[in-house]
Amino acid sequence: MANGTAASMEQLAGETLRSNTTIRDSINNIVDELKSAQSELTGVRPARADRKIEYDQLLADASEVRGRGLYYPYVGSGIGNGPLVELADGSVKFDMISGIGVQFFGHSDPDLVGVALEGAMADTVMQGNLQMNEEAIRFAEALVAQASRSSKLKHAFLCNSGAMANENALKVAFQKHSPASRVIAFQDCFMGRTWTMAQIGDSAAGRVGLPLNAMVDYMPFYDAAAAKRLSAGDVSGETRYIDMCLWHLEQYINRYPKQHACFIFELVQGEGGFRTAPRAFHKALMEVCKANEIAVWADEVQTFGRTDQMFAFETLELGDYINLCTVGKMTQVCAALYTADYNPKPGLLSGTFLGSSVGLRVGHRIIERLRDGDYYGENGSNARHHKLFRDGIRAIAVKHPEWFPQNDRILDIVDGCGGMMRFTPFGGKKDPIVNLCRTLYDEGVITFYCGHDPYHVRMLPPLGVMREDQWAPVFEVVERAMAKQAAQL
- Contact, 201 vs 235, CB < 8 A? no
Q: How far is CA 308 from CA 32, 364, 380, 384, 419, in A?
A: 33, 20, 7, 10, 9
Whether residue 107 contacts residue 81, with contact meaning beta carbons closer than 8 Å, is answered with yes
Give the model's pLDDT for residue 7. 52
- CA-only gyration radius of the chain, Å: 24
Contact 427, 410 (CB under 8 A): yes
Q: What was the pLDDT predicted at 344?
A: 98
In whole angstroms, what is the distance from residue 273 CA to residue 450 CA?
5
Q: Can 45-101+382-489 and 126-372 be said to share one CATH topology?
A: no
Domain ranges of the chain: 1-39, 45-101+382-489, 126-372
Provide the pLDDT for residue 247: 98
Cα separation of 326 and 302, whole Å?
Answer: 9
What CA–CA distance (Å, rounded) separates 450 from 185?
Answer: 18
327 close to 298: Cβ distance less than 8 angstroms: no
Just give the CATH number of 126-372: 3.40.640.10
The hierarchical CATH code for the domain 45-101+382-489 is 3.90.1150.10
Give the DSSP H/E element, type plus range, for residue 113: helix 110-119
**Which segments in the chain show pLDDT lower than 50?**
1-2, 4
Q: What amino acid is encoded at 129 in this protein?
A: N
Candidates 275, 246, 106, 115; CA nearest to 184 is 246
Distances in Å between the Cα of 412 and the Cα atoms of 228, 416, 483 are: 12, 10, 21
Model pLDDT, residue 407: 85
Q: What is the pLDDT of residue 406?
A: 86
- 191-202 tens-digit pLDDT: 999 999 999 999
Which 3 state secondary structure label does DSSP give 403?
helix
In the sheet where 455-459 sits, what is the strand order? 414-417, 420-423, 455-459, 448-451
pLDDT in the model for residue 1: 44
CA–CA distance, 265 with 302 (Å, rounded to integer): 12
Could you count the other beta carbons within 10 Å of the beta carbon of residue 211?
A: 7
Contact 454, 410 (CB under 8 A): yes
Using one digit for the tens of pLDDT, what is the confidence trace for 74-94? Answer: 999 999 999 999 999 999 999
Q: Is the dihedral of CA 205, 418, 328, 80 positive or negative?
A: positive
